[in-house]
Amino acid sequence: MDESPVTPKIRVRHLNFYYGTKQALMNITLDILPQEITAFIGPSGCGKTTFLRCLNRMNDEIPHTRVEGEILLDDADIYASTMDIVELRRRVGLVFQKPNPFPQSVFNNVVMGPRALGLETGSALEDMAQHLLREVDLWDEIKGDMTLPALSLSLGQQQRLCIARTLAVRPEVILMDEPCSALDPIATLRIEDLMRKLREQYTIVIVTHNMQQAARVSDRTVFFWLGELIEAAKTAQLFTRPAKKMTEDYISGRVG
């Protein structure tokens, strides 16, 4: 058997997902490894976002949806009735496509989660915010002024602020759904640099419609087509020696 020596952070087994009667994911089985960046690629509508949002049960918020199969985080079934969803979403954070900071100060944005969860208080919050803003390379750009309105930042800076906000609750997994699609090329490269830095400490999953981005930043790439997982492989391998004809057609731009 082709057993990986690394213990997967997330194991997905025979996952089906339905919006009403429409099936959006078909029998997905995948391991997601820690300290790696996994990229999901595939044409629009193939189920990348749906799958990403299954990983922290964000789809639960959408009425008339249904999940079958199993997703294990470490060894716990995240769809078990005993799973604490607030805790799950703390452990598995989600960064959205469009930066969505709250119309408040940079500081209030960063500390929102820890405040709500009572993780830190007082000057510990200040120290934490400063540390996180350095982590996402914003501290110098805002010249240490955390009172700045978040909405006065550039879009790229706002997205890095949103990443800091996600990191603030000490997640283990970070999900990013096309985090650069609203950004210019320079801001995009800065987010990619940040992802590579964060990979050391977190399990990262990104959805991208940009194959160059997947090739640049990810360790593993997963190709979806019409709700099916067609191929999952090391990124270099998937882009140079894909195992499936369909993958080859897609990455060479013949279809999709």
Ligand X SMILES: Nc1ncnc2c1ncn2[C@@H]1O[C@H](COP(=O)(O)OP(=O)(O)O)[C@@H](O)[C@H]1O
Least separation in angstroms between CB 49 and Mg ion:
3
Per DSSP, the residues of 91-157 read HEEEE-SS----SSBHHHHHHHHHHHHT---HHHHHHHHHHHHHHTT-TTTTTT-TTSBGGGS-HHH
Our finding on whether 157 is near ligand X (CB under 6 A) is: no
Question: Pick from 6, 14, 29, 62: which binds ligand X (CB under 6 A)?
Answer: 62
Our finding on whether 149 is near ligand X (CB under 6 A) is: no
Our finding on whether 221 is near Mg ion (CB under 5 A) is: no
Length of the chain: 256
Which SS3 state, helix, strand or coil, does residue 10 take? strand
Residue 32 binding: pick among ligand X, Mg ion, none (C-beta 5-8 Å cut-off by kind): none
Question: Pick from 48, 90, 165, 190: which binds ligand X (CB under 6 A)?
Answer: 48
Of 31-39, 42-50, 137-145, 233-241: span binding ligand X (CB under 6 A): 42-50
8 versus 256: smaller Cβ distance to Mg ion: 256
Least separation in angstroms between CB 48 and Mg ion:
5
Q: How many helices (H) and strands (E) does the chain have?
A: 9, 10
Question: Pick from 10, 37, 50, 192: which binds ligand X (CB under 6 A)?
Answer: 50
Q: Distance between CA atoms of 205 and 222, rounded to whole angstroms?
A: 10
Our finding on whether 24 is near ligand X (CB under 6 A) is: yes
Give the number of other Cβ atoms within 10 Å of residue 148's Cβ: 18
Our finding on whether 56 is near Mg ion (CB under 5 A) is: no
Q: Are 29 and 233 in contact (CB under 8 A)?
A: no
